[in-house]
Amino acid sequence: MEKKTGLHTLDKKDEFIGWPFYDKYLEDETYARPSQEDIMCEVQLNSLSTHEELRPRVPEKTFYSEIEKYKDSWVPYLQRPGFSNNREGLMLWGLEGDTPGDSMSMPDARKRTKNPNLKESDFSHPTQFYKDMTCLHPVCEYFSPLGRTYIIKANIGAFFPPHRDFPLISRDCFRIVAFWGNVRDYFWETDGQRLKIEKGRFYYVDTRKTHQTHMWGSDEPSYHLIMNIPKTWDNVLKLMSLMQR
């Protein structure tokens, strides 16, 4: 007699499925398989805190003097029908030929290029916006070439709902962020921990973990830089070298 276990196979369309990682693995057994360098890098990054303060800073006065040229150039960031989300952006490092208003989100870039397999590290070309933002060059060039790197202008009500950027350890980039403007009313939380923001300061943030943001203030926007750093052993050691003692 066949023993009944009470278990059943989930249908691929079952609502229990969130990310199709396993389906992709069934299609290609090499999918998401970490390399030796992936494992080395992730083990070292796991020694860091969820938020890690770094030594570099860019004074707000310098940042504002350079970004003023682009005050009328901001484009909506990842707007979705039926949702009001008051956020804008400009691209610093994108795909070859990108203008500062192109490739502002990965879904947009994949749709535009008809390439569903684009990775963050594919966005390795500086735009004119980057060339004009010379105050960011010392940190960016330290890790150059970068992956998809951009600035978000968070106006009142702007938010990112709880999400993970790429939870697999085979991710191709890790992230560094920096902030200017109204950081008093800007909220960033990762894995239940609120990031204590200092203007102009750079931070490593473990965006494999669930994080969310919200802009509550109305007197001025908040600006935050998102750097995607190609995950190589060299770059992990460079990151470690920028940490506070």
What confidence tier does 175 reach under pLDDT thresholds 50, 70, 90? very high
Position 39 pLDDT exceeds 60: yes
Instruction: Give kind and range of the element (H or E) at residue 239.
Output: helix 233-241
Question: Can you tell me the mean pLDDT for 85-101?
Answer: 94
What confidence tier does 70 reach under pLDDT thresholds 50, 70, 90? very high
pLDDT score at 226: 97
pLDDT score at 91: 97
* Residue ranges of domains in the chain, CATH in brackets: 52-241 (2.60.120.330)
How far, in Å, are 84, 186, 187, 197 from residue 183 at the CA level?
21, 5, 8, 7
Selection from 66, 226, 67 nearest residue 152 by Cα: 226
* Size of the chain in residues: 245
Position 11 pLDDT exceeds 60: no
Question: Can you tell me the mean pLDDT for 132-139?
Answer: 98
pLDDT score at 139: 97
pLDDT score at 118: 93
What confidence tier does 78 reach under pLDDT thresholds 50, 70, 90? confident
Selection from 160, 181, 171 nearest residue 223 by Cα: 181
What confidence tier does 37 reach under pLDDT thresholds 50, 70, 90? very high
pLDDT score at 6: 52
